Each structure stands twice: as structure tokens, then as C-alpha cells.
Amino acid sequence: MQADYVIVGAGSAGCAMAYRLGEAGASVIVVEFGGSDVGPFIQMPAALSYPMNMSTYDWGMGTEPEPHLGGRSLVTPRGKVIGGSSSINGMVYVRGHARDFDHWAEAGADGWSYADVLPYFRRMEHWHGGTSEYRGTDGPLHITRGPRDNPLFDAFIAAGEQAGYPVTPDYNGAAQEGFGPMEATIYEGRRWSAANAYLRPALKMGNVQLVRGLARKVVIEDGRATGVEVERGGKIEVIHAGREVILAASSLNSPKLLMLSGIGPAAHLAEHGIEVVADRPGVGANLQDHLEVYMQFASKQPITLYKHWNLLGKALIGAQWLFTRKGLGASNQFEACGFIRSRAGVEYPDIQYHFLPIAVRYDGKVSAEGHGFQVHTGPMRSPSRGTVRLRSADPADKPVIRFNYMSNPQDWEDFRACIRLTREVFAQEAMQPFVKHEIQPGAAVESDAEIDDFIREHAESAYHPCGTARMGRRDDPMAVVDPECRVIGVEGLRLADSSIFPRIPNGNLNGPSIMVGEKAADHILGCDPLTRLNLQPKTSQDWREKQR
């Protein structure tokens, strides 16, 4: 088997690259271990808590015991299905703040500033929110907003405004800071994953092919990647790449594949008897994530989704969705959000809110108190860094994941601020008809020590791992890929997914991961990059003096 390009991973970035490379006339083979995304568990937006808890669709990875979280091991879902994590995520669409990308460029990712990446966000988007010079309206990725029929959504936004924060009409446009409607990769009542947006149209071209199998390693001959060793149907074979091999297997599996291929920290590879092709200490380093807590409140009024949280209610929602693609089943229920700054002197938001009109965990366990609602919140730019390492030289073994959450004193300070600022929002007049009392953490949890204990016991991953093969200048010893996504030290090999982020962006990672695939495709094809767009983001004028 042979193609011009062999892409490992049919996830957010991989699907986008397959589409753009195929569109340019190249032959492409996409290697994906996971299977089909057909069926209501993935395609029905309201069913989002199911696929990330199903071994059919999830790699089933978890962290080593986290020392600063009481030794807890946290689950780390990654999509094992076409569409990758875009097929099992919460469908929330956030680009990140403009300053995030300016930081990437400052950190050595030349050509990845906001002005550079904005044209790629526009190219990929089919935004259904009107017209804006910041937004795209004819790309493959449909982006919509929920109906916000439940009064709790608008009450949350109003409470944010009453607390002194701005209301933003489009947090993906000029101004991220503030409260407003949340956007989702949902279209005509279905999850609009990277598989639906990019891969299915790509496969219809005739020059893009999908191969199911487990990628074991990159085949490297005389310093050049020539193919991918794949196990499928019990046999091991090599799929040859005429031009390049491209890894897009996630920020957990891409560094693992690099290390299995001899690219990584030399001493660690030697421990596992792997011959060193390129000593790159940055492979598997710089691991970042968003940690969050669910702040839950009991509801005075029986208007939350709890009334549907029974077999009959779920069956009715499912039936309505199956026949009409409408109703509660057509929404991810994240329809309102907020982005705020934790303190004066922070230039742009470092706290995010996802509001949900039910008190429920990601694994589907509902609050014992019945009617309630919650907000998912946490700091966006933790200084803590972790690692991904090999468990063994066996490609079937899961990697060793250590996020090292809450290892920096700043994390604790930021999280405490987060909880106190959130309480202030829910104490506003707009929420008074609805807030009965605080379920979690609970009003009794007030002191720094009590809040710290709550965080230690209840903080969970927002499932945004990234940064494990970061982009930088070729002379940077910790960089793994250069600004054209070429793996440093090996010819004919690129890596393009959330692994390459120098620093985690503000918000959910699906949007920036797809953007990376879009931009990487132009680098791979040797095209001139899209013309820079010098639109400035709106930031608070007095951020140095005021928190809001």
C-alpha cells in the first residue's frame, strides 16, 4: 500500500489535512485504529456523556496517581473512532483568545500569531451567526448556537452582567471577555465532527483512503520517514509514503509514536531498548490541560433537565431526535458561557465558564438533590507541566501520563479566586428566582484550606491535553516540530495536532486543533500561507488596574 501522504489519526487535525491534501490532488491514506461513528450515541448531541465512557469509542487512558490531587488517577478520554475526539467531545467551539496565538509566535512558532491563524479559522468555519470580518461563512465546519429556551441560560448571562462583566455577542470574534451565548459544532441537529465536516467529503474524492489498523511506529530509513508500520487483521505491514508521513494521533498518542520510532529523550528510549534516531528531549514534555470543578446549585424551580433524567424522559427525547433531529436531543446543553479575568493585571481572560441547566457529572451521574444546575469552571493558563512517557516498547501498551496538576502555588491561588468569583455571579439578582442553595462545594466551604480540600477531592480534567511535541525554532532544544510542523531531526515527517501547541489556548481545543490541520496542510503542500488579517482583539482598557 502506498500514497503520497500517510496520515496517522482520523481526528480533528487529521481529517482536515486529509481533505485539503486530497482537494489539491494528492493521494492520501489515513490510518485510524477506531471504527465507525455511525449511531445515535455519537451523532445525537445530547448523548455526549455516553461515547467518552464507552470502550468502543475511547482509548481508555488514565493518569498515574496525581500527587497534588490526593493521589487520584484521572480518566483521560481520547477518541478511538473516525473523527477522533471531535466525535466524543462536548461539541463546544472556542477558538482561543487572540493573545494565545501571539504568545505562540513569541515562543518561537513564527507565522502562528493571531494575524496568521485568523485566516485559517475563517477558512474552516461555516458560521451561522451572521456576518463578521472575524468569522468565516463558507467553510466545512458548521458552527451554531443553541436556542437558549431554558430561562436559566439568559439568567446566567444577566447575572454576569450584574456582577460587572461585559456581555459579549461573539466570544470567537472581536471580544472574548464577558458572558454570552456558547457556540457548538452542531448542524441540523447532529454532531458536526471533523469526520462529518472533512473526512466524509474527502473519502468521496477517490484519492483519499481510510485504512483501519494500529500504527506501531514510523519507518525511518537513512534519516527519512518512508512509511508507517501498521498492525491490522493480526498481520504487520508497512504503508509507504511517497512524499511524507504525518502524525495526527493526539497529544497522548503522537509523542508515544515518536518515541516508539526512536524520536525522543535518548535516555528514556534507551531504557526501553529503542534505537535513537533523533534525541529530542521535548517529546512527551510540556504536557498541559485545563482542570475544572463543577459548581452545583439546587434549583428553586423545576425547570432543569432533571425532569427528563429518567428512562421515559430519555426515550422521548431520543425518539424525537431520531425522527425530527430537533428538541433537547439536538443540543449539547452548553448554551451559555463566560470568560473573565481572575484579577487586575491579567490582560485577557484566564477563567472560563460552561453553564449547564442540570447538576450532573460527565459520566452521567446526576446530583442526589434533584433539580439543579451547574457551571464548569477553572483557570485557563496553569503554569503546571507534565509528561507522556512510554510504558514499554510494546505499541499496544498505553502511555504513562503524568499531568502534575496543581504542582505550582499559582494554581491554588487561581482556583480559589475562580470559586469565589463564581459565587459572586450566582449571588446576583438575576439568579435569585432560581438558586435555592449551593450543593457543591457548599456554603460551609469558605476558607482557603477548605476550598483547597474541595479542589483536591473534586477537580477533574476538562479533557484538553496538549503541548507534548511543541512547535518552536529549529535551534530550540525543547522544540519537537518547526513552524512548518516538520519534526526536527528527521526528513519527511510532520506532526500536526494539539501536541504542537506551545501553550494551551483559552477554551476548548477542538477548534484550534482543526485550525492546525488546516494551516499544516498549506505547509505540507508548499503553498503560500493565507494573507495575514490584522484585526485587533478588543481587550479591557483598564486591565492593569481592574479585575472587571
Distance CA 195, CA 214 (A): 19
The answer on whether 332 is annotated among ligand-binding residues is no
243 phi and psi, to 5 degrees? Answer: -115, -60
Please give the radius of gyration of the chain, using alpha carbons only, rounded to the nearest integer: 22
8 Å CB contact between 412 and 310: no
Spatial CB neighbours of 464, under 8 Å, sequence gap ≥ 6: 288, 289, 290, 498, 504, 508, 509
The answer on whether 81 is annotated among ligand-binding residues is yes
Helix/strand/coil for 493: strand
286 in the Ramachandran plot: left (φ > 0), alpha (ψ -120 to 50) or beta?
A: left
Helix/strand/coil for 180: strand
* Burial label, 161 (beta-carbon count in 10 A; 0-12, 13-18, 19+): middle
The answer on whether 89 is annotated among ligand-binding residues is yes
Please tell me the predicted confidence (pLDDT) of residue 367. 73
> What single-letter amino acid sits at 65?
P
> Is 523 assigned a catalytic role?
no
Beta strands 351-356 and 336-340, pairing class: antiparallel
- E-strand ranges in 73-202 read 75-76, 125-127, 141-145, 178-181, 183-184, 186-187, 190-191
Q: Residue 520's closest CA among 13, 9, 126, 5?
A: 13
Q: What is the pLDDT along the chain (548 residues), one digit of tens a residue?
A: 999 999 999 999 999 999 999 999 999 999 999 999 999 999 999 999 899 889 999 999 999 999 999 999 999 999 999 999 999 999 999 999 999 999 999 999 999 999 999 999 999 999 999 999 999 999 999 999 999 999 999 999 999 999 999 999 999 999 999 999 999 999 999 999 999 999 999 999 999 999 999 999 999 999 999 999 999 999 999 999 999 999 999 999 999 999 999 999 999 999 999 999 999 999 999 999 999 999 999 999 999 999 998 899 999 999 999 999 999 999 999 999 999 999 999 999 999 999 999 998 766 677 778 899 999 999 999 999 999 999 999 999 999 999 999 999 999 999 999 999 999 999 999 999 999 999 999 999 999 999 999 999 999 999 999 999 999 999 999 999 999 999 999 999 999 999 999 999 999 999 999 999 999 999 999 999 999 999 999 999 999 999 99
Distance CA 53, CA 500 (A): 26
| DSSP 8-state assignment for residue 372 | E
From the list 103, 268, 464, 523, the catalytic residue is 464
How many alpha carbons lie under 13 Å from residue 508 in its C-beta half-sphere? Answer: 24
pTM of the model: 0.98
Helix axes 114-124, 510-525, angle to 10 degrees: 100
All domains of the chain, ordered by start, with CATH? 1-145+184-285+387-397+465-537 (3.50.50.60), 147-181+291-379+407-458 (3.30.410.40)
The answer on whether 91 is annotated among ligand-binding residues is yes
Burial 408-430 (b: 16+ CB within 10 A, else e): eeebbebbbbbbebbeebbebeb
Please tell me the predicted confidence (pLDDT) of residue 362. 67
The answer on whether 445 is annotated among ligand-binding residues is no
Distance CA 303, CA 48 (A): 21
Please tell me the predicted confidence (pLDDT) of residue 474. 97
